[in-house]
Amino acid sequence: MLEEIIIAGFGGQGVMSMGQLLAYAGMLEDKQVAWIPSYGPEMRGGTANCAVTISDTEISSPLVTEPSVCIVMNKPSLDKFEPTIKTGGLLFVNTSLIDAKPKREDISVYEIPANAIANKIGNSKVANMVMLGAVLEIIKAVEPESILESLRKVLPPQRHNLIPLNAQALQKGAEIVS
């Protein structure tokens, strides 16, 4: 198994933490992982993205230029990363914020109304976890339980009350695509 994943969206949508959780969960499952943030003269409200590699064997290059999986949380990210996806790769689109349709026909597209679902369960901030739930249901790179275990490790104890909400968001995301 080798998944090279790009996660992109607005600053504040939780794309960096989505990637870190994915990497953390992979590490807990004894897989090889790497996470690289885009860093640069970023603007507030501008785009942010990160690259995550999860592999059963040693990772040669942690840089992802032809992703096997691409998760786009907003329109500028769709425009920027759709052309880079590997033939046969997967594209997850947050349709709550993206009206446009992807153009590529050599990839599989999953349309996830991540913000709408997050709002329905009561907190728009977990739209990233809804999306992650959908992604993991398809690619099976790590178990959703490992994501929750990672949350237990990275969140301070006083924030552990948020874990059930995150679990619910992962579950709802998985249901959309299953």
Instruction: Give DSSP secondary structure letters for 7-73.
Output: EEEETTSSHHHHHHHHHHHHHHTT-EEEEEE--SSPPTTSEEEEEEEEESS--S----SS-SEEEE-
Q: Quick one: 18 or 118, whose CB is closer to other proteins?
A: 18
Q: Does 126 bind other proteins (CB under 8 A)?
A: no
Q: Quick one: 39 or 105, whose CB is closer to other proteins?
A: 39
Q: Which residues of 12-47 are buried (b: 16+ CB within 10 A; e: fewer)?
A: ebbbbbbbbbbbbbbbbbebbbbbeeeeeeeeeeeb
- Count of residues in contact with other proteins, rule CB under 8 A: 20
Q: 151: closest CA among 124, 116, 126, 176? A: 126
Q: Please report where in the chains the tokens 């409200």 appear, as a residue.
A: 45
Using CB under 8 A as the binding rule, the residues of this chain from 45 to 74 that contact other proteins are 59-63, 65-66
Q: Quick one: 100 or 154, whose CB is closer to other proteins?
A: 154
Instruction: Report, in Å, the least distance between residue 33 CB and other proteins.
Output: 6
Please pick, from the candidates 5, 9, 14, 24, the single residue that binds other proteins as defined by CB under 8 A.
24
Q: Quick one: 19 or 113, whose CB is closer to other proteins?
A: 19
Q: Does 87 bind other proteins (CB under 8 A)?
A: no
Residues in contact with other proteins by the rule CB under 8 A: 20, 23-24, 27, 32-37, 39-41, 59-63, 65-66
